[in-house]
Structure 1
Amino acid sequence: MNLLEFFDTINLNEGDLNHAYKKNQFVNSIEFYHNQDISAFDIAILGVGEDRNSITNQGCALAPNQVRKYLYQLMGFNNLPKIIDLGNFKIGLTVNDTYFALSSIVEDLIKKNVIPIIIGGSQDLTYANFLAYKNLEQTINLVTIDSKFDLGDTEEEITSTNYLTKIILHQPNYLFNFSNIGYQTYFIDKEEVTLMSKLFFDTYRLGHVQKNIEEVEPIVRNADVISFDISAIRQAEAPGNKSASPNGFYGEQACQISRYAGLSDKLTSIGFYETNPEKDINGQTAHSVAQMIWYFIDGYANRKNDFPIGSRKTYLKYIVNIQNGQNEIIFYKSDKSERWWMDVPYPSHEKIKYERHLLVPCSYNDYKTACNNEVPDRWWQTFQKLL
């Protein structure tokens, strides 16, 4: 695939990117696409200025270079992975053309073990990201960091506020699990909460997450795809969004979540959406997104590659008997990262299909829950989906 047909390459001598960069800044740690062998890289940055299906935040198409303006000026760090900036995606004649071409490019990158970082654009681009996995013959987990669920009527055309409905109903269905982090109750219809519960999807209220931000790590570690809506960050820290709310994550929490995402061995694509330069103040939101991307890359550079697939002899194994010994839950702990997983049993004849999902990332708190003779919620939700 000749990506030059799909992207306008970056020119550092034009517009917002024209700057007297220093030698040790981020911009000098990456390459810009000029038909190199993409498989030689670990991470690819894609600007996708598509917002025609944005309902409330048109103007976010201008975000990619605004984010780059600040990203390029950040300092480099040790063990930087090989990164290439592909440039800005050439928007299709129709939005569906954009979805189709973007999904093909993301699919190609994933097949080459290159993680795409998508800088949107509106969040309906998550649908295009999801479609990239159609031909990869695996069920996937999607995590959104968002104050809303983005559900809508099935008959509606896809938009930034209903794209999740299209993903859930897509046939063939290759969505194994959906998790929302940070929803705000006053934005959510009770029927939506009920639907999420019936589908055994995971939803975490903003207040619950903020009490212990470390508990986000296992949720993010279980994701194949992450979609970050910038309106999930409180307005005082990220004003560049027409739907910004007074409440939300703090900037440092958003960066911490992004770093958790980078640390995950399972994650294969991520997108940052809905930054609107027209509403931004002194580039504050674009700068925040740049720092989030920086933290994601920092996490990637520190990956432990300790997902316990195959032999688990090097992991600490804990067997917890619950319900008076009638059942047991097996935990594994990595001696590299001290991260935890739970084993979810499943019939052997179906095991290959769901093998990637039978080890559920968890925390020490889940182990303590099992020791108190209770089934951890993460274990139960996964078990129900496998029935």
Structure 2
Amino acid sequence: MNKQDRLNIDTKCINNNSLNSSQEIQEFLEGYEGYQHLFLIGFESDIGAQNCESRTGQELGPNNFRALIEQLQFPSSNSFYDVDLSSLKLAIKDCGNIKPVISDIEATHQKLESFIKQIRELSKDSIIVVIGGTDDLNYPALCGQSAYSEKLNLIRIDPSLDFEDKYRKQFDDLEPQFLEHHQSHFKMTLGNEIILEKLGEVLFYGIQGFKIDQDHLDQIQTKLGGKFQYIYFDRDIRKTMFDIQNQEQNQCKASNILMENRILKESQQIELIVNIDLTSIKAQNAPGVSEPCPAFGFNTQEIEDIAFNIGKQENLRIFTISEYNPAIEKFQTGNVLCSIYQHLLLGIGERLKNQGQVIVANEYEDIGQQELEQDYFMQQAGEHLQLQNFDFDPSLQDFK
């Protein structure tokens, strides 16, 4: 069994139309007891973009991401970071996609929130990665996690505040109906008293001045007080890097500025949620988003470094990546998305390696035998279903 085969990744549901059941998740946890568990969820929805009349296509993101992951043979080990993922106690479960409820963003959000709660009911310390989809996914992800956390810190890597008024034009152009969309989910967050009570530090990292309304900043500051921080991309990050390079002839990375922030240095015992909006990346690196930014934004290496350092945080619970739109551009942006995911895993691997969470030789043999038995079982089950002309009843699956 080669190193790639030894990576503990369960991807049997990639072509499945429904999410994993609680039983499947429980079997995965029991099969990799003592491992760092990571659950991958696709948010196959662009209703948020439809509701604010933005460019759609984000619903294609999760499956295009998986296709590229398979094509690029990610995740793999990386000699640059000296991390061999195949030798570490990291087990990954691809849980499938959240299917949208047509024209019903609230019901779609409820499905993601419920599935995160289903995972948390079985595994409170695992890492959940959600691939979008529009970035309204961040609200149900936060709701799902907050039900199982006493306190939460939130880092949003985003050029804007997502604090616009809720608005959707009606077909008859009468009075607007106030429904959430992808630009208002943080406003919804601050309107949720349960979440607000559990929020610790909130950091918006890399906001861009021309996308920010000072009135919105003031409203958030009033609501959160000293718990709220914002760091501008152009004024703070780039200027700091430029000044340090000039004064000290020292290379300063965007990720270093983030890692020195108090939300990561002083709050390591508080559970952490991190959201990356791909519109925070410069358009020449990631053009496949609905609102690309040609002038400002992180470059590929900077966002990779950020993902790597976030992966090293032991308190990380939710990591989301949103706004990948293959309908606009598929491959270049998709490769950046895959690289963010890869570097997140390498950061997790670096932490596990430093903690001594390494697979010993006889565990490789046990895992290999387990995979052979699972493959044999799946083959026999498939033959049995063909013989019986079995009709699949989707109502038997959780959260279709």
User: Does 2:93 correspond to 1:44?
Assistant: no
User: Does 2:111 correspond to 1:101?
Assistant: yes
Tell me, yes or no, if the aligned pair for 2:98 and 2:111 is still in contact at 8 Å. no
Name the counterpart of 1:170: 192
Name the counterpart of 1:92: 101
Q: Deviations over 1:202-233 (max 9, x none)?
A: 10111322424202124473561111110000
Secondary structure at 1:177 match in 2: strand
Task: Supply the distance in 1 between the matched residues of 2:94 and 2:332 (Cα, whole angstroms).
Answer: 22
User: Does 2:92 correspond to 1:83?
Assistant: yes
Q: CA deviation at 1:92?
A: 3.2
Name the counterpart of 1:300: 348
Task: Supply the distance in 1 between the matched residues of 2:75 and 2:93 (Cα, whole angstroms).
Answer: 17
Task: Supply the distance in 2 between the matched residues of 1:157 and 1:177 (Cα, whole angstroms).
Answer: 27
Q: Deviations over 1:267-299 (max 9, x none)?
A: 101110000001115x10011000000100111
Task: Supply the distance in 1 between the matched residues of 2:145 and 2:334 (Cα, whole angstroms).
Answer: 29
Quick one: which of 209, 215, 219 aligns to 2:237?
Answer: 209
Task: Supply the distance in 1 between the matched residues of 2:6 and 2:335 (Cα, whole angstroms).
Answer: 15
Q: Output the amino acid matched with 2:99.
A: K
User: Does 2:323 correspond to 1:274?
Assistant: yes
Secondary structure at 2:95 match in 1: strand
Which stretches of structure 1, 4 residues or longer, exceed 4 Å deviation after superposition? 22-29, 304-307
Q: CA deviation at 1:305?
A: 10
Counterparts in 2 of 1:137-148, with a 5 A limit?
137-148=149-160
Task: Supply the distance in 1 between the matched residues of 2:56 and 2:5 (Cα, whole angstroms).
Answer: 29
Q: Deviations over 1:96-133 (max 9, x none)?
A: 22211211221233450221110100000100101113
Q: CA deviation at 1:257?
A: 0.8
Name the counterpart of 2:207: 183
CA 1:75–1:118 in structure 2 vs 1: closer, same or farther (change >3 Å)?
closer
Secondary structure at 2:287 match in 1: coil
Counterparts in 2 of 1:251-266, with a 5 A limit?
251-266=300-315
Task: Supply the distance in 2 between the matched residues of 1:306 and 1:109 (Cα, whole angstroms).
Answer: 27
Name the counterpart of 1:378: none
> Which structure's residues are more often helix, by fraction?
2
User: Does 2:207 correspond to 1:158?
Assistant: no
Q: Deviations over 1:113-172 (max 9, x none)?
A: 221110100000100101113422512111111100010236842111110000011022
Task: Supply the distance in 1 between the matched residues of 2:184 and 2:327 (Cα, whole angstroms).
Answer: 23
Q: Output the amino acid matched with 1:138.
A: E
Q: Output the amino acid matched with 2:211.
A: F
Q: Output the amino acid matched with 2:66.
A: R
Tell me, yes or no, if the aligned pair for 2:75 and 2:342 is still in contact at 8 Å. no
Task: Supply the distance in 2 between the matched residues of 1:243 and 1:299 (Cα, whole angstroms).
Answer: 29
Q: Output the amino acid matched with 2:217.
A: V
Secondary structure at 1:249 match in 2: coil
Name the counterpart of 1:58: 56
CA 1:26–1:102 in structure 2 vs 1: closer, same or farther (change >3 Å)?
farther
TM-score by length of 1: 0.68
Counterparts in 2 of 1:1-387, with a 5 A limit?
29-33=8-12, 35-36=24-25, 37-39=27-29, 40=32, 42-54=37-49, 55=52, 56-72=54-70, 73-74=73-74, 76-77=76-77, 78-79=84-85, 80=88, 81-92=90-101, 94-111=104-121, 112=123, 113-153=125-165, 156-172=178-194, 173=196, 174-198=198-222, 199-200=225-226, 201-207=228-234, 208-210=236-238, 211=241, 212=252, 213=254, 214-219=256-261, 221=264, 222=267, 224-246=272-294, 247-280=296-329, 283-303=331-351
Q: Output the amino acid matched with 2:292.
A: A
Task: Supply the distance in 2 between the matched residues of 1:75 and 1:183 (Cα, whole angstroms).
Answer: 30
Task: Supply the distance in 1 between the matched residues of 2:344 and 2:189 (Cα, whole angstroms).
Answer: 25
Number of aligned residue pairs: 285
What stretches of structure 1 of length at least 5 have no aligned partner?
A: 1-21, 308-387
Tell me, yes or no, if the aligned pair for 1:154 and 1:166 is still in contact at 8 Å. no
Identity score, percent: 20
Q: CA deviation at 1:25?
A: 5.1
Q: Output the amino acid matched with 1:216.
A: L
Q: Output the amino acid matched with 2:184.
A: N
> Which structure's residues are more often strand, by fraction?
1
Task: Supply the distance in 2 between the matched residues of 1:27 and 1:236 (Cα, whole angstroms).
Answer: 36
Tell me, yes or no, if the aligned pair for 2:75 and 2:345 is still in contact at 8 Å. no
Q: Output the amino acid matched with 2:96.
A: G
What stretches of structure 2 of length at least 5 have no aligned partner?
A: 14-23, 78-83, 168-177, 242-251, 356-400
Tell me, yes or no, if the aligned pair for 2:58 and 2:323 is still in contact at 8 Å. yes
Name the counterpart of 1:314: none
Q: Which has the higher contact order (CA 8 A, sep 6+)?
A: 2
Q: Output the amino acid matched with 1:202.
A: Q
